[in-house]
A and B are shown apart, each in its own frame.
Chain A
Amino acid sequence: MTNALTKMLAERDWILADGATGTNLFNMGLMSGDAPELWNEQYPEKIKALYQSAVDAGSDLFLTNSFGGNASRLKLHNAQKRAHELSRMAAEIGRDVADSSGRTVIVAGSVGPTGDIMQPVGTLSHSDAVEIFHEQAEGLKAGGADVLWLETISAPEEYLAAAEAFKLADMLWVGTMSFDTAGRTMMGMTSAAMVEMVDKIDNSPLAFGANCGTGASDLLRTILGFSAQGSSTPIIAKGNAGIPKYVDGHIHYDGTPELMGQYACLARDCGAKIIGGCCGTMPEHLRAMRAALEGSSKSGSPSLEAIVAALGPFSSTGDGTEDNAPTARVTRRRRRIA
Chain B
Amino acid sequence: MSDEDDIILAELDDEELVQQMFDDLYDGLKEEIEEGVNILLSRGWAPYDVLTKALVGGMTIVGADFRDGILFVPEVLLAANAMKGGMFILKPLLAETGAPRVGKMVIGTVKGDIHDIGKNLVSMMMEGAGFEVVDLGINNAVDAYLEALEAEEPDILGMSALLTTTMPYMKVVIDTLVEQGKRDDYIVLVGGAPLNEEFGKAIGADAYCRDAAVAVETAKEWVGRKHNQMAG
Contacts and interface: CB of A to CB of B under 8 A. Distances in A.
Interface in A215-248: 243-246
Contacts of A188: 71-75
A326 B70 contact: yes
B65 A186 contact: no
Interface in B90-104: none
Contacts of A184: 69, 72
B117 A186 contact: yes
A32 B69 contact: no
B69 A316 contact: yes
Contacts of B202: 246
A333 B27 contact: yes
Interface in B172-189: none
B69 A318 contact: yes
B41 interface: no
Given A244-B194, A246-B202, A334-B4, A121 B77 contact: yes
Interface in B193-230: 193-194, 196, 198-199, 202-203, 211
B73 A331 contact: no
Contacts of B32: 333
A186 B112 contact: no
Among B71, B164, B196, B202: residue with most chain A CB under 10 A:
B164
A298 B7 CA distance: 59
Contact of B70 (A186, A249, A251, A328): A328
A250 B4 contact: no
A264 B65 CA distance: 34
A309 interface: no
B73 A187 contact: yes
B26 interface: yes
A26 interface: yes
B17 to A, nearest CB: 12
A181 B70 contact: no
B56 interface: no
A333 B73 contact: no
B134 interface: no
Given A244-B194, A332-B2, A334-B27, A121 B69 contact: no
B74 A121 contact: yes
A146 B193 CA distance: 32
Interface in B59-100: 61, 65, 68-75, 77-78
A292 B20 CA distance: 58
A32 B112 contact: yes
A320 interface: yes
Contacts of A183: 69
A22 interface: yes
A295 interface: no
B69 A331 contact: no
A206 interface: no
Contacts of B71: 188, 328
Nearest to B201: A246
B23 interface: yes
Given A117-B73, A184-B69, A187-B72, 10 more contacts: A22-B165, A32-B163, A117-B77, A185-B72, A188-B72, A244-B196, A246-B202, A249-B171, A328-B75, A333-B32
19 contacts: A31-B112, A33-B166, A34-B112, A117-B73, A155-B74, A182-B68, A188-B73, A246-B167, A250-B168, A251-B164, A251-B168, A320-B69, A326-B68, A328-B71, A329-B61, A331-B27, A332-B1, A332-B23, A333-B29
Interface of A: 22-23, 26, 31-34, 76, 115, 117, 121-122, 154-155, 180-188, 243-246, 249-251, 279, 316, 318, 320, 326-329, 331-334
List the 8 shortest-distance A-B pairs measured between CB atoms, nearest first. A182-B69, A33-B112, A188-B72, A32-B112, A32-B165, A331-B23, A251-B164, A121-B74
